[in-house]
Amino acid sequence: MSVLSPLMLLLLLLVPLLAAAYVWLLRRRRKYAVRYSSLSLIREALPRRARWRQHLPFALFLLGIAGLLAAAARPVALVEVPLSRTTIILALDVSRSMCATDVSPNRLAVAQEAALAFIEDQAEGTQMGLVAFADFAELVVPPTADREALQQAVANLTTALGTAIGSATLKAIDAIAEVNPDVAPSGVPLGGVETQNEPPEGYQPDIIVLLTDGANSRGPLPVDAAQQAADRGLRIYTIGFGTTNPGQMVCTQAQMGSSSFGGGFGGGFGGGGFRRFLRIDEETLQTVAEITGGEYYRAESAEQLVEVFLNLPAQIVLQEMAVEISVAFAAVGGVLATAGVALSLWWRRYP
């Protein structure tokens, strides 16, 4: 802890002076009392209270004065706070397999609820963006601190065919590059890009959270896209969502959007080569997380998914900031001084 006005600390010398004056007055009072020949007068003059009750009010008052004087020096403390330019990009899979009902009511509805809880859990002012991906990836909401816009976008997600995990990663990189000058857009050779600051411990303060229930079916390979993120110091936290038995797929009309498939469709999943894209490619998701310094999570239920989202790192990079705490010193000093005066008046009334 340090102070902004160190010269004001000299005022603390008043504290021992007041203590010395208090002791002097007590001794002077005793000397004055012995001059009386009447024992009754001496008993009347001497305090009838216990010794600690006699001195406690002044001790509290003295501590309060010390707190107020310390506040005048404007003390500051170093605290760790999230880096102000942290950006989180949510990349959510909206492929048609997210209509699977192995997680009630279906995977997409549960993923939406978990994402909404994650958004609500972030510190005030945290920038977040939303990327939705199916057959292609789209930046639905650029990085913003507007929670209402993010929540509305998440609630209005619709499904389509395909799972473009690699494209979603590149789109998330580009979204971060728009707000962080130290991150180059995807596809740009890093040798010709000058950054303003080196990422702390090799990482930028920004992260990508990618949720999918399947495997990449089109677009760039996820591992290649992850390497671009790693080269830029961006960490990716991947989430594999769903059980090994997807069962029936049923989407609401809202989740189907403008699709011509209608309000829902039943039955199991098809066979052949297509079926492999409907299983979570855990090996790839783990590799993506490892390459970028992130972490892979597995969730098979609504409760597990909400827990995963809420356990994601909320404070990615911390920085030390000097925060003035003179108000706290003044408040404590005022309370102690007031308590000392109040006790003195109360106990003098009822010895």
CATH number at residue 205: 3.40.50.410
Domain of 252, in residue numbers: 84-188+199-316
Q: Please tell me whether residues 222 and 305 are part of one structural domain.
A: yes
Q: Residue 194 falls within a domain, yes or no? A: no
Q: What is the pLDDT of residue 33?
A: 54
Q: Cα 195 from chain centroid?
A: 26
Total number of domains constituting the chain: 2
Q: Please tell me whether residues 251 and 150 are part of one structural domain.
A: yes
Q: What is the pLDDT of residue 49?
A: 53
Arithmetic mean of pLDDT, 32-39: 53
Q: Please tell me whether residues 145 and 231 are part of one structural domain.
A: yes
If you search the block for the tokens 């993120």, which residue do you land on?
A: 229
Tell me the pLDDT band of 313, cut-offs 50, 70 and 90: confident
Q: Which of 71-75, 141-145, 341-345 has the highest mean pLDDT?
A: 141-145
Q: What is the pLDDT of residue 341?
A: 82
Tell me the pLDDT band of 271, cut-offs 50, 70 and 90: very low
- Residue 101 has φ and ψ, to the nearest 5°, of -100, 15
Alpha helices by DSSP H, listed for the chain, are: 14-33, 39-45, 51-72, 107-121, 147-155, 165-179, 222-231, 253-256, 282-292, 302-310, 326-349
Tell me the pLDDT band of 223, cut-offs 50, 70 and 90: very high
Q: What is the pLDDT of residue 263?
A: 38
Residues 254/158, Cβ–Cβ less than 8 Å = yes
Q: Residue 23 falls within a domain, yes or no? A: yes
pLDDT over 50 (residue 199):
no
Q: Please tell me whether residues 129 and 238 are part of one structural domain.
A: yes
Q: Residue 341 falls within a domain, yes or no? A: yes
Q: What is the pLDDT of residue 30?
A: 64
CA distance 92 to 210: 6
- Among 13-17, 93-97, 129-133, 321-325, where is mean pLDDT lowest? 321-325
Q: Please tell me whether residues 95 and 52 are part of one structural domain.
A: no
Please state whether the predicted TM-score (pTM) of the whole model is above 0.85.
Answer: no
Q: Residue 90 falls within a domain, yes or no? A: yes
Arithmetic mean of pLDDT, 311-331: 72
pLDDT over 80 (residue 291):
yes
- Among 36-45, 121-130, 134-143, where is mean pLDDT lowest? 36-45
Q: Please tell me whether residues 67 and 96 are part of one structural domain.
A: no
Q: Please tell me whether residues 181 and 265 are part of one structural domain.
A: yes
Tell me the pLDDT band of 84, cut-offs 50, 70 and 90: low
CA distance 288 to 207: 13
Q: What is the pLDDT of residue 9?
A: 77
Q: Which residues contact 141 (CB under 8 A, 6 or more apart)?
A: 128, 129, 130, 149, 150, 153
Arithmetic mean of pLDDT, 223-246: 93
Q: What is the pLDDT of residue 132?
A: 97
pLDDT over 70 (residue 194):
no
pLDDT over 90 (residue 134):
yes
Q: Please tell me whether residues 174 and 265 are part of one structural domain.
A: yes
Q: Please tell me whether residues 140 and 267 are part of one structural domain.
A: yes
Q: Residue 331 falls within a domain, yes or no? A: yes
| Mean of all residue pLDDT scores within the chain | 81
Residues 332/60, Cβ–Cβ less than 8 Å = no
pLDDT over 90 (residue 151):
yes
Q: Please tell me whether residues 26 and 121 are part of one structural domain.
A: no
Q: What is the pLDDT of residue 340?
A: 79
Cβ–Cβ contacts within 10 Å for residue 165, how many?
A: 30
Tell me the pLDDT band of 191, cut-offs 50, 70 and 90: low
pLDDT over 80 (residue 40):
no
Q: Residue 193 falls within a domain, yes or no? A: no
Q: Residue 217 falls within a domain, yes or no? A: yes
CA distance 342 to 212: 64
Residues 96/107, Cβ–Cβ less than 8 Å = no
Q: Which of 134, 122, 46, 47 is nearest to 89 (CA)?
A: 122
Q: What is the pLDDT of residue 252?
A: 84
Higher pLDDT, 100 or 266: 100
Q: What is the pLDDT of residue 261?
A: 33
Q: Please tell me whether residues 112 and 175 are part of one structural domain.
A: yes
Q: Please tell me whether residues 163 and 212 are part of one structural domain.
A: yes
CA distance 222 to 214: 12
Arithmetic mean of pLDDT, 296-316: 85
Q: Residue 88 falls within a domain, yes or no? A: yes
